[in-house]
Amino acid sequence: MSHPVIPQVLALAKPVAHDLGLEIVDAVYHTHQQPPTLRVDVRSHQGETNLEDCERMSRSLDTVLDDANVIPEAYVLEISSPGVSEFLTQDRDFIAFRSFPVTVRTQEPFKGHQVWVGTLTNRDQEWVHLNQKGRSISIPRSLVLEVQLQDPP
């Protein structure tokens, strides 16, 4: 469960991120630390999120949060990139992780299976394409629930 201040933080942070060419991925307020820590994860629209992106977001958001006085007590603001998720969701994930082992789960059986394991070869508008030991498999995107990265063998 997220802290009650998070919706207010997100409402202020999203336009700031947008203006900087970033998107907000997550925000967490850690009240068990002294001082409390507000961590906001951002992702660049241009590719890899770098330190400069985090610094720009930190400076801009710090001013906005101070002006709005959303968190009246002293706190630490941390801006970071979310790192790599084990689930592929965006087009750039599918490009970056081509040739990586994945598990594809479907909402209903397709050709007798709901779980497919193989090497990701591509994703287009209609299909997720895998290589299973030299055999090409195409799974309809409309049936795909999730595509999860696997640890290499």
- List of domains in the chain: 6-80 (3.30.300.70), 87-149 (2.30.30.100)
> Could you tell me where the DSSP H helices lie in the chain?
6-19, 51-68, 91-96
Q: Are 71 and 64 in contact (CB under 8 A)?
A: no
Q: What is residue 63's predicted lDDT score, i.e. its pLDDT? A: 95
| pTM exceeds 0.85 | no
Q: Are 120 and 102 in contact (CB under 8 A)?
A: yes
Q: How many residues are there in the chain?
A: 153
Q: What is residue 120's predicted lDDT score, i.e. its pLDDT? A: 96
- pLDDT greater at residue 21 or residue 88: 21
